[in-house]
């Protein structure tokens, strides 16, 4: 069973500035298998103007109403399948790897004491530990950017983009990175923008 949680909503405004109908629902979902929990990242579901339930008065709409809307508008079977994959990966890490260099690293697992610079593979993606900790069921690498950062060996080509924190780690003109499945080239020096937002040229799907 999936449990949906409403994060925020967006709505249009009436002439007097008061809220009118909801136009977007941001939500996340989880599925629990015994003590192991899988979660989705926050997503947004647009509420189209011809979706009749959204014509209800704004101040009468409850969180339960919004969850019903999500059930109407989202592919809940697909969402549940994604959560099942995450649960299975946490409980029984797969032995296959996406690319050969990953074979030298262990799969991420629960209950392991990780130290800074440890590299582990999770769902066929490499992650490097940036804060020592003992892993927990709800601390998978994609969900804990304070503990893990994306990792690809320098010998394997362009590195995953990481949000710069200062002058020491910003990106130079013509530097390339990978991000969201694409290769990007920096258009400026001292680039701190996220690829896809500004100051990067999309070079296409990668690898």
Number of H helices, E strands in the chain: 2, 13
Do 132 and 183 lie in one domain? The reply is: no
Backbone angles phi, psi at 16, to 5 degrees: -85, 5
Do 45 and 57 lie in one domain? The reply is: yes
pTM, to two decimals: 0.49
Do 129 and 107 lie in one domain? The reply is: yes
Cα separation of 26 and 8, whole Å?
A: 5
Q: Residue 152: which H helix or E strand, with range? A: none
Do 86 and 114 lie in one domain? The reply is: no
Cis peptide before 207 (omega within 30 of 0): yes
Tokens representing 131? Answer: 């804060």
Do 8 and 66 lie in one domain? The reply is: yes
Burial code of 140-164, b = ≥16 C-beta within 10 A, e = fewer?
bbebbeebbbbbbeeeeebeebeee
Alpha carbon distances (Å) from 175 to 36, 96, 149, 185, 186? 40, 31, 19, 6, 5
Q: Which residues make Cβ contacts (< 8 Å) with residue 102, sequence separation at least 6?
A: 121, 124, 126
- 196 three-class SS: coil
Do 55 and 71 lie in one domain? The reply is: yes
Cα separation of 125 and 49, whole Å?
A: 39
Do 11 and 34 lie in one domain? The reply is: yes
Print pLDDT tens along the chain (207 aa).
889 999 999 999 999 999 999 999 999 999 988 778 888 888 889 999 999 999 999 999 999 999 999 999 998 888 998 888 888 877 776 655 567 888 889 889 888 999 999 999 988 888 999 999 999 878 889 888 889 988 888 777 888 888 887 777 889 999 999 888 889 999 999 999 999 888 999 998 876
Boundary (domain end) residue, out of 153, 170, 188: 153
Torsion 99-105-109-115 (CA) sign: negative
- Tokens 């440890």 -> residue: 118
Q: Is 11 exposed, middle or buried (0-12, 13-18, 19+ CB in 10 A)?
A: middle
pLDDT at position 206, please?
A: 78
Q: Which domain holds residue 56?
A: 3-91
pLDDT at position 20, please?
A: 92
Q: Residue 6: which H helix or E strand, with range? A: strand 3-13
Boundary (domain end) residue, out of 91, 117, 135: 91
Do 167 and 115 lie in one domain? The reply is: no
pLDDT tens figures, 98-153? 678 888 898 898 889 999 999 999 888 889 999 999 998 788 898 888 899 888 88
pLDDT at position 119, please?
A: 95
CATH number at residue 171: 2.10.10.20
Burial code of 38-48, b = ≥16 C-beta within 10 A, e = fewer?
bbbeeeeeebe
Cα separation of 172 and 190, whole Å?
A: 6
Do 125 and 165 lie in one domain? The reply is: no
Do 9 and 59 lie in one domain? The reply is: yes
pLDDT at position 142, please?
A: 84
Cα separation of 177 and 195, whole Å?
A: 9
Do 24 and 70 lie in one domain? The reply is: yes
**DSSP single-letter state for residue 194:** P
User: Into how many domains does the chain fold?
Assistant: 3
């Amino acid at each position: 069973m999936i449990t949906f949680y409403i994060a925020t909503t967006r709505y249009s405004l009436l002439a007097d500035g008061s809220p009118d109908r909801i136009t977007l629902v941001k939500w996340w979902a989880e599925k629990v298998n015994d003590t192991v929990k899988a979660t989705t990242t926050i997503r947004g579901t647009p509420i189209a103007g011809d979706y009749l339930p959204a014509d209800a008065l704004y101040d009468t709409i409850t969180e339960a109403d919004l969850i019903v809307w999500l059930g109407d508008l989202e592919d809940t079977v697909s969402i549940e399948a994604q959560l099942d994959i995450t649960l299975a990966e946490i409980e029984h890490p797969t032995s296959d790897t996406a690319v050969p260099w990953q074979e030298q690293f262990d799969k991420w697992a629960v209950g392991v004491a990780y130290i800074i610079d440890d590299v582990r593979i999770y769902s066929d993606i490499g992650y490097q530990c940036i804060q020592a900790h003992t892993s927990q069921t709800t601390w998978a690498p994609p969900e804990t950017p304070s503990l893990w950062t994306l990792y690809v060996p320098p010998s394997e080509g362009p590195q995953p983009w990481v949000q710069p924190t200062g002058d020491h780690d910003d990106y130079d003109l013509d530097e390339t990175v990978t991000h969201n499945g694409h290769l990007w080239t920096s258009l400026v020096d001292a680039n701190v923008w996220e690829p896809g937002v500004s100051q990067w040229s999309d070079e296409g799907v990668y690898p």
